[in-house]
Amino acid sequence: MTIIEPRVLKGFRDFPPAAEIGRRGLIEKIEASFRSFGFAPIDTPALEYAEILLGKGGGETEKQVYRFTDNGGRDVALRFDLTVPFARFIAGHRAEITLPFKRYHIAKVWRGENTQRGRYREFTQCDVDIVGSNSPASDFEILLVMRETLKAIGAGDVAIHLNHRGLFNRFLAALGLLDKSVDILRLVDKSAKVGRDAVVERLSVIAGDKAEKILQFIEAKGGFEDVLARLTELSGGSSPESERLAALRTYMLQNVSDGADAFTLDPSITRGLDYYTGIVYETFLNDMPEIGSICSGGRYDNLAGLYSKESVSGVGTSIGLDRLIAALEALGRLEQRASYARVAVSCLKEADAGAYQTIAGRFRDAGIACEVFFTEEKLTKQYMTAEKKGMQWLIVPSLDNPLRGKLTLRNLAARETSDPLSVEEAVLRLKAALEV
């Protein structure tokens, strides 16, 4: 018979146990953080009508989407983000939802991207959004969720750079350049990549002698209050946008537990051509800023406009799990183990396998994950197997009477065997040793 090569598609990955245990541990911590703020999970289909996902159509997105005709002749596509399905969800479930609605969604998305830049075609997003509140208090909550979640997973301190797109537009309007805001935003968003000189040159084409003024705006640097004062002045004085930023600053200072240092007002952050209309932000790890923003988002005016006449505004953020994993791996902060079990019951007689499972069940009931070895082998060989599997303890039952006789505990690292113990004593001993 011909053997089929067991390959996976380019840009797609298997996660063997050691990688998947680290990945799942990370997701569980992120979920716990989202839940602690009162966000509730939703799930939506991986496959949707292409019309729903691509609504406005055209552009880069469409080229990258996995789109096809199903067996029923429907034009369908795999989701390429979690925001579009969320917008469709809000419109479709509006009657059941009480606003403000706080949801999280952690799931895979698919894009047929160029894989050369270390990008994947299947990757995981962790999205959190608050819809139906326009309060700056909800903007602030999203900023806090980002900071606290990244702290909870051991990513260390973060620098959250935020800006207000409405304030930038107000500034452009004051210069008479509002109709060119899309081109200008696109340029500003690329400034980190192409360098200042190139930006000046291209800005001059669009904005003439106002190019320098635009650069003054996006290059404003310093403490939050100083930058805010400068942007307020450049945009023609106090406005709802500058006042919202001032309110956020007040909240930061009230949130004394960690100080307000994590937050920088950075007018160069624009989030390109995204659908954001209010505050926008990007988040960098202080221990590895070079990996780029690992969590970004902003406020949008009308999320579900494609699917509903009702306007629902919101604010949200998305953690790119794969970039975060790459960073944590490089920092040596990702859990690395191939099993959850650190304890196993050895096999002295294969005929007693049921009794060994009974013993293991007592440890499992006490919250200790416990394997059972299946094969009758020399005990020294079983010590080695257990160590190779990353186990810390091997339970050695009574040879003659596994169910009622005493057992011993082998500490694999210390190479020590305990005195004979009852199962109850052994459970207590391991609970203490493993801090279960």
Site for a second copy in 57-76 (CB under 8 A): 63-64, 66, 68-72, 74, 76
Nearer to a second copy, 256 or 414 (CB): 256
Q: How many residues bind a second copy (CB under 8 A)?
A: 115
CB of residue 208 to a second copy, shortest distance in Å: 34
- Alpha-carbon dihedral 49, 52, 58, 62, rounded to 10 degrees: -50
Q: Which stretch binds a second copy (CB under 8 A): 155-163, 318-326, 338-346, 408-416?
A: 338-346
Nearer to a second copy, 51 or 157 (CB): 51
CB of residue 118 to a second copy, shortest distance in Å: 17
- Which of 26, 52, 214, 394 lies at the binding interface for a second copy (CB under 8 A)? 52
> 69 and 49 in contact (C-beta within 8 Å)?
no
Taking CA 349 as the corner, what is the angle to CA 348 and CA 353, rounded to the nearest 5 degrees? 105
- Which of 80, 168, 224, 251 lies at the binding interface for a second copy (CB under 8 A)? 251
Nearer to a second copy, 201 or 424 (CB): 424
User: Residue 153 and residue 134: Cα distance in Å, rounded?
Assistant: 29
User: Residue 103 and residue 434: Cα distance in Å, rounded?
Assistant: 36
Q: How many CA atoms lie within 13 A of 278 on its CB side?
A: 24
- Which of 95, 351, 413, 414 lies at the binding interface for a second copy (CB under 8 A)? 351
55 DSSP 8-state letter: T
Q: Which stretch binds a second copy (CB under 8 A): 185-193, 326-334, 341-349, 406-414?
A: 341-349
> 411 and 343 in contact (C-beta within 8 Å)?
no
Q: Which stretch binds a second copy (CB under 8 A): 98-106, 201-209, 266-274, 415-423?
A: 98-106
How many of the other CB atoms lie within 10 Å of CB of 13?
13
CB of residue 398 to a second copy, shortest distance in Å: 13
Q: Which of residues 363-382 bind a second copy (CB under 8 A)?
A: 364, 368-372, 374-375
Nearest-CA neighbor of 160 among 26, 42, 319?
A: 319
Nearer to a second copy, 47 or 412 (CB): 47
Q: Which of residues 398-417 bind a second copy (CB under 8 A)?
A: 402-403
Cα-trace Rg, the chain:
28
CB of residue 109 to a second copy, shortest distance in Å: 10
The answer to the question of residue 9 lying near a second copy (CB under 8 A) is yes
- Which of 219, 261, 350, 424 lies at the binding interface for a second copy (CB under 8 A)? 350
Q: Which of residues 118-157 bind a second copy (CB under 8 A)?
A: 122, 133, 135-138, 140-141, 144, 148
User: Residue 265 and residue 231: Cα distance in Å, rounded?
Assistant: 10
How many of the other CB atoms lie within 10 Å of CB of 259?
10
**CA distances to 15, 89, 230, 354 from 66, in Å:** 22, 21, 46, 49
**Strand bridging mode 408-411 / 393-396:** antiparallel
244: left (phi over 0), alpha (psi -120 to 50) or beta: alpha
> 164 and 267 in contact (C-beta within 8 Å)?
no
- Enumerate the β-bridge partners of residue 281: 162, 297
- Which of 229, 288, 326, 353 lies at the binding interface for a second copy (CB under 8 A)? 353
> 76 and 104 in contact (C-beta within 8 Å)?
no
User: Residue 410 and residue 416: Cα distance in Å, rounded?
Assistant: 6
CB of residue 67 to a second copy, shortest distance in Å: 8
Nearer to a second copy, 78 or 426 (CB): 78
Nearer to a second copy, 149 or 293 (CB): 149
Q: Which of residues 10-49 bind a second copy (CB under 8 A)?
A: 10, 12-17, 20-21, 23-24, 35-38, 40-49
Q: Which of residues 286-315 bind a second copy (CB under 8 A)?
A: 304-309
Nearer to a second copy, 149 or 169 (CB): 149
> 279 and 252 in contact (C-beta within 8 Å)?
no
